[in-house]
Structure 1
Amino acid sequence: MMNFSVISVFGSLFMVLCGLWSFISYHKHLLNSLLSLEFMMLGVFWLLSSQMTGVGSEIYFSLFFLTLAACEGALGLSLLVHVVRSHGSDRFMSLNLLEC
């Protein structure tokens, strides 16, 4: 019979790998890329929190990681809003890197 921590580790690694696969496969829109990055961050947070609860009372590091993930999500959302306002869509093919 498998232990809950082993199932938690495999589940979080599966989340990270699915997020990585979606980041590589569906990269036509900026929103898809940002959502897959957030999914990978949630998988890493789940892995980190399950490992930290097994070690001891160092749960503050996982809360710090969750704060950084939320800041990364807010920064990505503001970047998405800026790109949509300036270019009209979030498709990578419509972005021109030579424009200012």
Structure 2
Amino acid sequence: MMNFSLLMVFFSVIMIFCGLWSFISYNKHLLNSLLSLEFMMLGTFWLMSMEVSSVGAEIYVSLFFLTLVVCEGALGLSLLVMIVRSHGNDFFKSFNFLEC
């Protein structure tokens, strides 16, 4: 019989790889890429919090990581809003990086 913490670690690793797979394969929209990055970070946070709690160490490192993930998400959403306002959509193929 599998241990519960081992099962949670397995699910968090599966979450990370599913997020990575969706980031690599579904790159048509910027919003899909941002959501898959957030899903990978959620899996990483879950894995890190399970490992830190099993060791018995302080959880402050996980909270610091969660703070950085929230800042990354806010930066990604602000870039998405800026791109949609300037280009009209979030398709990667419609971006022309040579124009300013």
Where does residue 29 of structure 2 map in the other structure?
29
Alignment of 1:56 onto 2:48: no
Structure 1 consecutive aligned stretches of length 4 or more whose deviation exceeds 2 Å: none
Where does residue 77 of structure 2 map in the other structure?
77
Q: What secondary structure does 2:6 align onto?
A: helix
Percent identical among aligned pairs is 73
Q: TM-score, normalised by structure 2?
A: 0.98
CA distance in 1, matches of 2:99, 2:16: 34
Structure 2 residue runs without a partner (length 5+):
none
CA distance in 1, matches of 2:99, 2:55: 50
CA distance in 1, matches of 2:53, 2:71: 24
- The count of corresponding residues between Structure 1 and Structure 2 is 100
CA distance in 1, matches of 2:88, 2:33: 17
Please report how far the alpha carbon of residue 29 of structure 1 lies from its aligned counterpart in structure 2 after TM superposition.
0.3
Q: What secondary structure does 1:93 align onto?
A: coil
